[in-house]
Amino acid sequence: MPIPFAGRLLSIALFAIALAVPAAARAQLTSPDTAHWTWSDLRSQPAVDTSQLRWLEDNVPIDEAHALLSRIGQLSQPAAIQMLPSLSYLEGNQSSRSLRLLADSLAIRPAAGWAGQVRIAYFLARSRKVILDNASGSTYQPRFSGTPFSLPAPPSAKPQPGAAVALSLDFAPAETLLAIIGTPDIPYHDALARISTPAFDALVIHHGQSFYDITLTREQLALNLVHASSTQPLDELYRYARPGGFYHFADVRENADRYRALFATLAAHREDIARYLNASLSPYLPAGTRIDRRVSFYFDDLSDGWGYNDIAAVPLEYYKDDFARMFNTMVHETFHAAQAAVRRTSTPPARRLPTEADSAIAQAFSYVLGEGTANYLAPTLARSAASADSMSRAGAAILAELVAMRGGDWNAARAQELLNRGVAGGGPFYWLGAAMARELVARDGPAAIGRLLQSDGLAFAQAYISRVRPALLLSEPVREAVRQLAVTP
């Protein structure tokens, strides 16, 4: 599922960032001892802000504070910290409120000596705490919780006759990224070469779709990996202040050993996982469908799960050891891979779609079918019934606007904006399609989903209109447009 970040930008500043402070220019401050100071020692230093120091003492363990101030002391002078916010251009994430506050704070030139160092430590540590403390309810899980492995109970629906999904687990993309990040100061061209493979082609293509705020490029991916592997003080301080920074690769570096242990846990339970996925998907596939699919594990920002052709991708850093959410995403994304397999062996109806408006409406219903049925099986987000209904109605409103433009002044740019809004970030089309699928399954059983996967989005809408009375989610103009467009030659 794509995660939108409004206002993400990439600029030429990406390449200026590489001008990190050289090691030879770094100078250690000497009094008090940078490795063995006490909070009392720092309080005795001239011009140190005692309120900032008190906050550090209350919120940062002493060993962590020692390491932080030691790293700050490796800068040639405290004022070098003013370069740190420019690293955010690598992520294109200048819209983050916590990042803006950090950038504004560090834009003011700090004093020399310990007064400046303490000020820097305060703002970096506060940034880290805000990010970690405010992550509850987010799709991104910032910490490992120590939860033991477990699988959810499988669904009660029975498999369709002869339908089965065989599953394998592919750790190669995540292992490649972990190896790159674990190579200190890896050269840019080495990182670029290692992500120039089909697995990362799929990532770049998927994350380059129009509903993302920025187009992910291989260069952006490589630069984030380089800075995540860097031993330069500015990069290390940025990773500390923004523990999910550098496209989440800061997290991967900090928790590398835990991710390796997670690989081993998942691999040890691969047969149990495969049985659970088969039980979750086979009731909703056409009878006789046998699919061999793999789930590929990645680390990547912007989306907590995605599919491209036969790849069902699960970015592990979003879940860590939150196994319930992880397996929910596996079901969702593997069902997308199953949808693609069914389409390749099916002959969808020939549609006469003579205008751009007709094609856009058909595309909208294709999203409603594909994302909606996957969201019915495994919702991308836990929503209350009222919230899910509100999202469904927002999806219906998008369809209504597209249909209204078809009958009046067609605006292609507006249409694309509406389509993007329908799918971005687990958008309204996910919930509209799930609501439609739920009604059809209630009337015709799980087999209804498998049959409709062999057709197209207009057939899905037509089935909903004919079987669900009244079809209140879709307005009369939308229902009439479906009836017109679903006619085959």
pTM reported for the whole predicted model: 0.83
Q: How far apart are the first and last CA of the chain?
A: 35
CA quadruple 142, 269, 156, 326: dihedral, nearest 10? 20
* Geometric angle at alpha carbon 173, from 172 and 174, rounded to 5°: 95
Structure tokens at 272: 């149990």
The answer to whether the bond into 470 is cis (omega within 30° of 0) is yes
Look up residue 46 and give its DSSP letter: T
Q: Judge whether 251 and 128 are in contact, CB under 8 Å.
A: no
Cα separation, 280 vs 156, whole angstroms? 9
Cα separation, 386 vs 388, whole angstroms? 5
Task: Give me the tens of pLDDT residue by residue for the chain, a chain 489 residues long.
Answer: 555 443 343 333 433 343 343 433 333 344 556 668 999 999 999 999 999 999 999 999 999 999 999 999 999 999 999 999 888 888 776 566 777 778 888 888 999 999 999 999 999 999 999 888 877 667 888 889 999 999 999 888 999 999 999 999 999 999 999 999 999 999 999 999 999 999 999 999 988 888 787 788 999 999 999 999 999 999 999 999 999 999 999 999 999 999 999 999 999 999 999 999 999 999 999 999 998 888 999 999 888 888 887 788 999 999 999 999 999 999 999 999 899 889 988 988 888 899 999 999 999 999 999 999 999 999 988 899 999 999 999 999 999 999 999 989 999 999 999 999 999 889 999 999 999 999 999 999 999 999 999 999 999 999 999 988 777 789 999 999 999 999 876
CA quadruple 246, 251, 254, 257: dihedral, nearest 10? -130
Look up residue 78 and give its DSSP letter: G
Cα separation, 224 vs 144, whole angstroms? 22
* Per-residue pLDDT at 13: 40
Q: What are the extents of the domains in the chain? A: 13-133, 164-231+239-344, 356-485
- What is the H or E stretch that residue 406 is in? helix 385-406
Cα separation, 294 vs 314, whole angstroms? 11
Q: Judge whether 90 and 227 are in contact, CB under 8 Å.
A: yes
The answer to whether the bond into 32 is cis (omega within 30° of 0) is yes
